[in-house]
Structure 1
Amino acid sequence: MVRHPLPVRLFNGAGPALRRLPLDLLSLSPDRLIATAVRRAALDDFGPADFETGLAVLTRSAERDARLTTIGRLALRQHILSALNTLLLEEDHRRRRAVEADQAEIRPLVIMGLPRSGTTLLHRLLALMPGARGLAYWEVRNPIRPRGRDRRRQQARRQLALLDLLAPGFQAMHRVAADDPEECWFLLDSSMTSAAFWLTAPVYGYLDWFLEQDQSAGYARYRDHLLRFSAERAAERLVLKAPIHTLNPGLLRQALPRATIIQTHRDPVACVNSANSLMREMQGAVTDHVDRPRLGRANLDLLSRATARCMADRSGWRDDPVIDVHYDDLVADPLRVVGEILTRSGEAFSAEHERRVRRYLLNDPASPPGSHRYRSSDFDLRDDEIRQAFTGYLEQFPRLVERI
């Protein structure tokens, strides 16, 4: 468990006293959160009230399950307020003007796959393509420009600085910077049906609820965000990635019918254990009571469901346009893999792109081999148990079994 710096421990210790004050600073009441979002945005129309159920489930789960520290409450509260603010801005944007871009013209590259299966590396290499646009962390966290001064980039930098303080091992596992391309799953947040909240805090009840929901509304909002981004710089091709799309590839394809979808593949044992290790670090920033066995079981269930649903969706498509990429191939020869993807997606692997990829690989500040260690037993799991949960997936991709 991370031992936080003394000022952080003192602030966390003051939480009970702070919560007795008549302030909204630490409140996770849905009504107070909504009122705070309205006041900050100077807007009051959220559109359809379908987000309210998810908000209620999330905040109830935070109170019952998460055992949040004072800073943890602030972090989750800010995540929720950011989602509500985006929802208000979505409705304001919808009233004032239609989205300019034509959905039929959006042809993004979208990467999905189990977390820790090479999605981040592949995303950043493809985003180096001349004429490509990988959405930066500060953009996906707050995707619509607010009224007045735009402080989104500065807010993202402060947020990541706090994360470095609270979870010092996180950057060694997944490097994040405000201006670097980042996962697009945050674009689902305003629906209040988003797995991104599970990354922020151990909201087990919310995760269980989330897995049973129809997430069509979230993907409709996701599509609208991409339409706006495309309208801003129509000449650029969006390059996106989020492992959570593996849970809903049918909805992804419905939202973006002309997308090139890429799925990465890796031994599920490595993926589950590495994801658990990353989540333990992340959730250790917001609670002093990370339940490793419970975390491990929850992620095993989430990820095995995702692959099963993904394989079911893909098997039902008349034509399966997904480009499959094995982690081992990507690590062994990233230039060849990038070139093959571009050829299949109708792009040329230009000399400039190749130069950028080579430079990135030479200077990649990713953690050195062996610095991120993880085992099934760290989360009260067994390797054979994980493989059993992914039986159908491993039958579909037997090469993964051969390399275990």
Structure 2
Amino acid sequence: TMASLVEWASVAVVGLIALQILLSVVRNVTRRAYRVPPRITFQARLINWALWPKSLFQIGPQFRPLTFEGLKKFASKKTKLTDFGDPWFEGAFKFALELVHQNGYQYSPLGKLITFDSFERRLEARLRVKAELKDFPQAKDTPLLPPVFVLGLPRTGTTFLHHLLSLDPTVRYPKTWELFDPARLPKYRDDPTRDAHKRRQFVQNGIKRIKGIVPHIEAIHEIGADEPEECLIAIGMDMPLIFCTMPAYMSRLQILKEWDLTTAYANHYETLQLMAFQQSSQDKRWCLKCPMHLGFIRCIQKVFPQGTKIVWTHRDPCESIPSLSSLFQTMLEMHTLEDIRVDEVGQTTLKFWSEMLKRADEDIKSDKSGHSHVQYRQLIKDPISVVKQLYQDFGWEFTREYEQKLEEYIAENKKKREEKAFQKGKALHKYSLEQYGLTKEAVHAEVSWY
């Protein structure tokens, strides 16, 4: 009878959940050195247990093996669009999907859900950007002032400096919700306020879900729908360097080195044109940021106009590498219930970003538009003096209005950090080389030239 089937199914689900709990206990007892459990909330574990039957029996597209054609079909069905534009992105997406399948970690049910959504949302955004550019071809004629790019190893002050530079009233910066969803919703193209609200709300809800899984990510990287955010999100429409693929990309360093991302950067330029066209903000200088730009300065030089400025932040790698390893550990934690092999995370992080530094050093030597270097310690000690020096280096006007905005932001930021530091007696963000199986000698050997 139906009642018997429901009863049997309930018993089966409870049994599966009990088995998962038992496996977790066994892993805790047999855990080896440099293997740590994912730091996810109890709520996230409950969601994983609830989704486990769906994952086990592959119920729904999110829990079946990911295929490029399947993702394209799903995105087209949701948007009712089929034109993905130039085909360069196909190779990048297929390669990223291969990395997901070859990943050394078994994805949790929640991880599968996040991974599917990450890929599908990038394809959906791509379809809608191409559609809006087709409907408004004049957007591609929108002139852009030479922008400024903030780059450097992650955890070297790039986010803080990006926020400071974005406070200038003469500057335009990409907000998180804009980068996730650059195209206007067709239904609200004639209602900018409602359109922005809908797109912003969607991203805000997604951020809440991420914080519900790994709340400690806020101590590592400030996330907010209206905050200045990294270009990587929009470039993800061509090259899906996203949370679920980034650790895997880092382990395939040689292949990534061979990629020419000029097309991806050209499409990013068009996306910035579209965003400026939407808000008639072409008279403002874009302030852009992404640590990954470090390895692709050559693409910036090819695509962006003469006069584009580059600011490179620097910090002792013995401080930035373990902090960065902690960030990538968090990315893995969002997608798996397996123990994280933190020594592998440390080694991969060190080798990958050492190569990015070398590429940046090679490329910056041929830069003729203008670049400047910022030391992390000086930025933290006296941020306003650092910003003033940059404006002097680049010949930009530093106004009293802007200085007041800087003073207010720095005071508020300091207050927030102090509150977080003493919340529940925990520090803002703890990390060390030893946690990741690294030593100062190993780091210095890898980046001795830097």
1:226 aligns with 2:272: yes
Change (3 A) 1:106 1:56: same
Task: After superposition, give the CA deviation of every residue in 1:151-185 in whole Å (9 maximum; x if it has no partner).
Answer: 32111111111111111111012111111111111
1:5-404 equivalent positions in 2, closer than 5 A = 5-19=41-55, 20-27=57-64, 28-65=66-103, 66-100=105-139, 102=141, 105-149=144-188, 150=195, 151-191=198-238, 193-197=239-243, 202=248, 209-231=255-277, 232=279, 233-257=281-305, 258-289=307-338, 290-317=340-367, 319=368, 321-364=370-413, 365-366=416-417, 367-368=420-421, 370-392=427-449, 394=450
One-letter code aligned to 1:175: E
% of aligned pairs identical?
24
Deviation at 1:61, TM superposition (A): 2.1
TM superposition score normalised by structure 2: 0.81
Deviation at 1:225, TM superposition (A): 1.2
Q: CA RMSD in A?
A: 2.3
Q: Which has the larger radius of gyration?
A: 2
Change (3 A) 1:215 1:200: closer
One-letter code aligned to 1:302: F
* Distance across 2 between alignment mates of 1:199 and 1:275: 16
* Distance across 2 between alignment mates of 1:293 and 1:372: 19
Task: After superposition, give the CA deviation of every residue in 1:317-376 in whole Å (9 maximum; x if it has no partner).
Answer: 4x3611111111111111111111122233222111111111111111235495312111
Kept in 2: contact 1:15–1:69 (CA 8 A): no
TM superposition score normalised by structure 1: 0.90
Judge which range, 339-348 or 72-81, deviates more. 339-348
* Distance across 2 between alignment mates of 1:352 and 1:132: 13
One-letter code aligned to 1:251: C
One-letter code aligned to 1:292: V
Change (3 A) 1:134 1:48: closer
Paired residues, number: 391
Kept in 1: contact 2:310–2:372 (CA 8 A): yes
One-letter code aligned to 2:287: V
Aligned to 2:4: none
* Distance across 2 between alignment mates of 1:21 and 1:332: 53
Task: After superposition, give the CA deviation of every residue in 1:93-129 in whole Å (9 maximum; x if it has no partner).
Answer: 3332324365764221210111111111111011111
* Distance across 2 between alignment mates of 1:90 and 1:330: 37
Aligned to 2:8: none
SS class of match (2:336): coil
Kept in 1: contact 2:308–2:369 (CA 8 A): no
Change (3 A) 1:157 1:201: farther
* Distance across 2 between alignment mates of 1:172 and 1:353: 27
* Distance across 1 between alignment mates of 2:261 and 2:438: 30
* Distance across 1 between alignment mates of 2:71 and 2:171: 37
* Distance across 1 between alignment mates of 2:58 and 2:324: 38
* Distance across 1 between alignment mates of 2:254 and 2:387: 36
Change (3 A) 1:294 1:167: same
Deviation at 1:391, TM superposition (A): 2.3
Unaligned runs of 5+ residues in structure 2 are 1-36, 189-194
Deviation at 1:190, TM superposition (A): 1.2
SS class of match (2:63): coil
Change (3 A) 1:22 1:283: closer
Judge which range, 366-375 or 245-254, deviates more. 366-375
Deviation at 1:277, TM superposition (A): 0.9
Kept in 2: contact 1:62–1:203 (CA 8 A): no
